[in-house]
Amino acid sequence: MDGTERRQYPEKPARVYLFGTCLIDLFCPQAGLDAVRLLEREGIEVHFPADQTCCGQPAHSSGFPDQARAVALAQLRLFPEPWPVIVPSGSCAGTMRHHYPKMFADDALLQAEAQALADRVFELSEFLLEVARVRLSDRGPRERVALHTSCAARREMGTHLHARALLDQLPAVDVVVHAHEAECCGFGGTFSLKHPAISGAMAADKVDALQETGATTFVSADCGCMLNLNHTLQKRGGSLQGQHLASFLWRRCGADAGEAR
């Protein structure tokens, strides 16, 4: 999957589900709240099933298919209504959309359930742009921003294109391209734990490229990448820090709803 998939997009729905992801739940709850605010700003009612957990990506990418299936199975029936499932992470959305049906290939009934769910999964920026068809009104000062997109988000979901298109709607935001934009930040879930030296070197290359742009912030729709790069930047003592795309967009346009922070 190269991110160039052509989807048939539905009309804007009245209601959606939010799949919050583990990292947002544990480390970046504000990004989840800002994602809800962006959706509600478009007149969409957001439902959050309380029993949701992990999408199963860590086990799947680490070579533990049975454990990944068990985690995925726990999510399959949490979204019974035929509403879109919005995921504020390209890598998690990619797992649910592209890998869930494959995980259950040996069980026709479960595969059908997995495919039905997969067809309703949208990464947040993709949904905002292609389904909600947002038109953002920029209320912030001029700002120089770099974009980082996770490997899975870029190659499975094409969400670097959606994120860039949303940022392009903000006239006072200058989006700069950094030298390592298409490369991995070194996080890779369990990769960073199993190969810390390689992971650290990859993060250093990415941070060097970000700092060379002169950007005042960088944005990413994947919290794993954002946390990895922010921690690397913090160790260097610089002022550059990243924000989740949802929080950045809400900061720039939330004044439309009278709730900007």
Q: Give residue-wise pLDDT tens across range 234-252.
A: 999 889 999 999 999 999 9
Pick the CATH number of 143-257 from 3.90.1300.10, 3.40.50.2300, 3.40.50.1860, 3.40.309.10: 3.40.50.1860
Q: Give residue-wise pLDDT tens across range 84-142.
A: 999 999 999 999 999 999 999 999 999 999 999 999 999 999 999 999 999 999 999 99
pLDDT bucket at 5, cuts 50 / 70 / 90: low
pLDDT bucket at 215, cuts 50 / 70 / 90: very high
Mean pLDDT score, 212-225: 94
Closest Cα partner for 113 from 98, 101, 122, 128? 101
Closest Cα partner for 75 from 54, 101, 105? 54
Partner residues linked to 176 by β-bridges: 146
Contact 240, 218 (CB under 8 A): yes
Tokens representing residue 23 in the block? 């990292």
pLDDT reading at 203 higher than 50: yes
pLDDT bucket at 158, cuts 50 / 70 / 90: confident
Distances (CA, A) of 170 to 52, 175, 178: 33, 10, 19
Rounded Cα distance, 79 and 110, in Å: 14
Mean pLDDT score, 221-240: 92
